[in-house]
Amino acid sequence: MTAAPSRLLLAAVLVASALAAQVTLLNRLSLPGATPDLVLLVVVALALALGPTFGLVTGFTAGLALDLVPPADHEIGRWALVLTVIGYLAGLAQAETRRSAFVPLAVVALAAAASVLLYAGLGALMADASVTWVAVSGLLPTAVAYDVVLSAFALPAVLAAVHRVGPESVA
Amino acid sequence: MNRDTRRTRLLLALLLVTSIGLITLDYRAESDGQRSPLDGLRSFAAAVFGPVEQVAAAIAGPVGDAVHSVSELGDGRGELARLRREKEELTRQLRTSALDRNRAAELDALLRLTGAGRYRVVPAQVIAVGAAQTFSWTVTVDAGTRDGVQPDMTVLNGDGLVGRVKTAGPTTATVLLAIDPNSSVGVRLEGSMEVGFTTGQGLEDLLDLQLLDGQSTVVRGDRLVTFGSQGDTPYVPGVPVGEVRGVRGTPGSQTRTASISPYVDFSALDLVGVVVQPPRKDPRDAVLPPRPRTTPLPTVTVTETVRPGAEQ
Using a CB–CB cutoff of 8 Å, tell me whether A84 touches chain B: yes
Residue A116 touches partner B, C-beta closer than 8 Å: yes
State whether B67 and A29 contact (CB < 8 Å): yes
A125 vs B: CB within 8 A: no
Q: What per-residue string of b and e applies to B30-63 under the rule 16 or more CB within 10 Å gives b?
A: eeeeeebebeebbbebbbebbebbbebbeebbee
Hey, is the C-beta of A162 within 8 angstroms of any chain B C-beta? Answer: no
CB contact under 8 Å between B22 and A94, yes or no, is: no
From residue B18, give the alpha-carbon distance in Å to each of A72, A81, B4.
Answer: 19, 8, 20
Give the residue from chain A lying closest to B132, CA to CA. A34
Comparing CB atoms, the residue among B4, B68, B128 nearest residue A92 is B4
Query: For A88, which of B12, B130, B175 is closest by C-beta distance?
Result: B12
Can you tell me the distance from the alpha carbon of A59 to that of B8, in angstroms, rounded to the nearest whole number?
Answer: 13
Q: Looking at the partner chain, which of B16, B61, B132 has a beta carbon nearest the beta carbon of A34?
A: B132
What residue spans define the domains of chain A? 5-165
Nearest CB among B8, B21, B174 relative to A73 is that of: B174
Chain B partners within 8 Å of A93 (Cβ): none
B81-280 CATH: 2.40.10.340
Any B CB within 8 A of A69 CB: yes
Q: Are B26 and B40 in contact (CB under 8 A)?
A: no
Inter-chain contacts counted by CB atoms under 8 A, chains A and B: 204
> For residues A106 and B33, what is the distance between their CA atoms, to the nearest angstrom?
43
B169 → closest Cβ in A27, A70, A143:
A70
Cα dihedral: B271, B274, B277, B282 (round 10) = 80
Write down the pLDDT at residue B304: 72
CATH number of A5-165: 1.10.1760.20
Identify which of B44, B47, B25 has the alpha carbon closest to the alpha carbon of residue B36: B25
B181 neighbourhood in chain A, CB within 8 Å: 129-130
In A12-31, the residues whose Cβ lies within 8 Å of chain B are 20-31
B136–A130 CB contact, under 8 Å: yes
Mean pLDDT in each 10-residue stretch from start to end of chain A (171 residues)? 75 92 87 91 94 94 93 91 96 86 91 95 87 88 94 91 70 40
pLDDT at residue number B208 = 92
Question: Which residues, in sequence order, are CB contacts of B282 under 8 Å at separation 6+?
Answer: B228, B237, B238
CB A143 within 8 A of CB A116: yes
Q: For residue B210, what is the DSSP state?
A: E
Euclidean distance between the first and the last CA atom of chain A, given in angstroms as a whole number: 14
pLDDT tens-digit series, residues B141-198:
999 999 999 999 999 998 999 999 999 999 999 999 999 988 999 999 988 888 899 9
Residue B261 to residues A4, A127, B194, B209: CA-CA distances in angstroms? 55, 27, 18, 10
Q: What are the domain boundaries of chain B?
A: 81-280
Mutate to test the interface with A, among B6, B7, B18, B23 (most CBs of A within 10 A): B23
A118 at B interface, C-beta within 8 A: no
Predicted local distance difference test score (pLDDT) of residue B259: 92
pLDDT at A115: 95
Distance separating alpha carbons of residues B25 and B19, to the nearest angstrom: 10
pLDDT of residue A1: 45
* pLDDT tens readout for residues B82-97: 777 777 777 766 665 6
Which residues in chain B come in under a pLDDT of 50? Answer: 1, 311-312
